[in-house]
A and B are shown apart, each in its own frame.
Chain A
């Protein structure tokens, strides 16, 4: 099996599908099998997988934003690491989106400058102990970040975003389809994807016609695998997992 640890490659899944439909020699349906596997992988990532992806981003030095990752479905959190712990910023829907020119998309420094960007040291955005903020600009596929710190010299909060531009971490729900690297499919989803794609081939009678009975049987297999996959993700399977789920957060519990 190709892949690393508990992941398999896309080609591994596609090879299984081709074997099921009997196209392992000619590989005429490779593209179809691969695209359908990717489609289904995206779907289970978006709808069923509890996993999220964490990635370091580079924040634009001038406007303090970073581009939304290509494979993101939903931004869950933005923050930084501090003393080995993730410190999330506060999502602030009212944070200003910088005005840009409609034609060239370049920041308009003349208009609304004072309104949209608080002067340094302005107390804008103060909210309890949390001094980091983020806001998603969905229209332009980017996320704005601001960070403030208390300055005793000015006796107020000043914009400190420039100091964290290379430290920002984003946590997001991913489609799993990041074309810059290999597609890693969790091993527990491997069989589900292969059987689903095989079922899709059957439904379309590719490469050969199959009976309604066979399609029904295959549908039941897919449903059962999907149920197993969801159960595996969300429910404890044995005593140790139950114990960890109930008492795992207590430091007094003996750890394995």
Chain B
């Protein structure tokens, strides 16, 4: 389901359940979008807080790919701007990968503090890996050899938050759309009702 279809679907649900003047205000697309965004990130975080779900996750399914140019700050630290805000999952799993555009180096995702420890281990000097971590709204790239300097651009794949999706982007929820709809309506103060037997009454 595309983003715009999702928003209009939720809007229809609300209007159908509570067709009043107030509903039109509450069911404003901007309000709905904000509520879906909350539900989307809550669902992802809850589902992937479980270690087994995270291990078996096909997170690339929800991800978007970007191309970014590597920059250097005044301290000589290499970085790329984060192209979109990510859903914050455990171990920065929201950032799926960073890969060189036209290179063979392995990029390893770490945390900032973790990198300080890694630098003292054999694995840091004995492998030719590039390490990266999220620092605010940028991705810091730790180049370990001179060969890494030739890289100019990188591919970044990440799980963007809901507002970063475009209207025609496909949105997938981890457990399907039904639980997502329920959660969205619940957070907005609606209880989904079953209207099948309305005629009987």
Contact = CB atoms under 8 A, between A and B. Distances in A.
A26 B127 contact: no
Nearest to A21: B55
Given A11-B106, A28-B91, A207 B51 contact: yes
Contact of B127 (A27, A39, A42, A183): A183
Using C-beta atoms within 8 Å of the partner chain, give the interface range for chain A: 20 to 34
A25 B108 CA distance: 12
Contacts of B125: 179
A26 B122 contact: no
A27 B108 contact: yes
Given A10-B127, A34-B127, A207-B51, A179 B122 contact: yes
Contact of B55 (A10, A22, A34, A35): A22
A35 B54 contact: no
Interface in B117-164: 118, 121-123, 125-128
A38 interface: yes
A1 interface: no
Interface centre among B54, B56, B127 (most CB of A within 10 A): B127
A80 interface: no
B55 A207 contact: yes
A28 B56 CA distance: 13
A35 B125 CA distance: 11
Contacts of A34: 123, 127
A30 B108 contact: yes
B57 A26 contact: yes
Given A31-B108, A177-B122, A208 B52 contact: yes
A208 B51 CA distance: 7
B55 A23 contact: yes
A34 B56 CA distance: 21
Contacts of A208: 51-52, 55
Interface in B80-116: 91, 93, 106, 108-110, 114
B118 A31 contact: yes
Contact of A38 (B51, B59, B110, B123): B123
Nearest to B91: A28
A28 B123 contact: no
B177 interface: no
Contact of A22 (B56, B93, B127): B56
Interface centre among A28, A31, A177 (most CB of B within 10 A): A31
A177 B60 contact: no
Contacts of B126: 10, 38, 177-179, 183
Given A28-B93, A31-B121, A179-B126, 19 more contacts: A25-B57, A25-B59, A25-B60, A26-B55, A26-B91, A26-B93, A27-B109, A30-B108, A31-B108, A34-B123, A35-B123, A38-B126, A42-B122, A177-B122, A179-B122, A179-B125, A182-B128, A183-B126, A207-B55
Interface of A: 10-11, 22-23, 25-28, 30-31, 34-35, 38-39, 42, 177-179, 182-183, 207-208
